[in-house]
Structure 1
Amino acid sequence: MKKGDIWISAVLYIGIGIVILVVILSASMPLIRKARDENVISQTRQVMLELDDNIRTVIGEGAGSQRVFSVEIGRGELFINDLNNSISWSLETNAEVAEAGSVVHFGNLDLLNLKQAEGFLVTLSLSYNNTADIINVENKIKGRSDLVIFNNESMPGKLPKIKISSK
């Protein structure tokens, strides 16, 4: 055996090892991304349910009631829509968390999973129609924010006016 044969074998083994690692990583990355997105959706679902609980507490306590709620939106976008009295969060993902086109109810929270050309659009939404008149300062919330939930006005026979703003 020649001296160079050992080095050639070592280089070949290292090359084969690198190729195997690349194949394993490229096959597992979509699974890792899917698991990460499912985790983000689950955490955001919990945050939305807590936000709903705070809003309903402020509604129940009457005019002048106020709560500060810390929210962190790492991925996706949180929208407060005062035109249709709703709060929604959306994320584009490859994770199919529910059957495409179906709505899943978690108490007052609805999860909608829409099929897109590439992947899915997952939307979590809270509706306050016939419950409250939502007034907001910012339409879109991203990142870390302290939301002030304030019962601006409660009159018998009328929907309470709930103002949501960033601190």
Structure 2
Amino acid sequence: MKKGDVWISAVLYMALGIIILVIVLSVGIPIVNKIRDKNIAINTKELMLDLDRNIRTVYSEGPGSRRPVKLQITKGTFSIDEAANTITWQFTTKVLLSQPDIEVQEGSLTILTRKAAQEKEYITSYKLDYDTILTLQSTAGTNFLSGKTNLIITNQGNNVILIDVY
């Protein structure tokens, strides 16, 4: 056996290993991203339902009642629309979480998935609507919230709930 044969074998084995690694990563990364997006959707739904519970508790306890709430917004945008009295969390995903263009109602939470501009991408929004129940006010204004956010929910009286962002 010549000295060059060992080096040729080593290079071939290394190339084979790299090819296998690339194939495994090209299959595995999309699966991991889908699982991550699904977990974000589940956590988002739970956070929105918890936020709704806190708002309704503060509302039912009467003027002066307060509750702190911590939000972890890992993906998408969280907004409070004072004009429509809604709270919305919206994000883009490659996972189809519900039937497109059909609103799904889970308690007071409305989930809507729409097709995005890019192929095989969807925009999912979670919305809490208080228009017929109470009036929302927020210190966030028209800004979208992201990252770690702390809220204080306060009953101001006269069916007004203040969501203070700090």
Check whether TM > 0.5: yes
Partner SS, residue 111 of structure 2 = strand
1:137 is matched with 139
Structure 2: any 5+ residue segments left out of the alignment? none
1 CA distance for matches of 2:63 and 2:132? 17
TM-score by length of 1: 0.93
1:128 is matched with 130
After TM superposition, give the deviation of residue 117 of structure 1 in Å. 2.4
Partner SS, residue 63 of structure 1 = coil
Residue 110 in 1 paired to residue 110 in 2?
yes
Residue 98 in 1 paired to residue 102 in 2?
no
2 CA distance for matches of 1:92 and 1:59? 32
Identity between Structure 1 and Structure 2 (%): 37
1 CA distance for matches of 2:101 and 2:30? 22
Structure 1: any 5+ residue segments left out of the alignment? 155-159
Structure 2 letter corresponding to 1:81: D
- The 5 Å alignment of 1:67-78 reads 67-78=67-78
Of 145-154 and 123-132, more deviation after overlay is shown by 145-154
Structure 1 letter corresponding to 2:14: I
2:161 is matched with 162
Query: Aligned pairs, how many?
Result: 162
Of 137, 148, 160, the match for 2:152: 148
Structure 1 letter corresponding to 2:54: N
Structure 2 letter corresponding to 1:163: L
Partner SS, residue 76 of structure 1 = strand
CA RMSD of aligned residues (A): 1.0
1:65 is matched with 65
Of 78-87 and 104-113, more deviation after overlay is shown by 104-113
TM-score by length of 2: 0.94
- The 5 Å alignment of 1:12-31 reads 12-31=12-31
Contact (CA 8 Å) 2:138, 2:165: kept in 1 or not? Answer: no
2 CA distance for matches of 1:30 and 1:101? 24
1 CA distance for matches of 2:81 and 2:164? 12
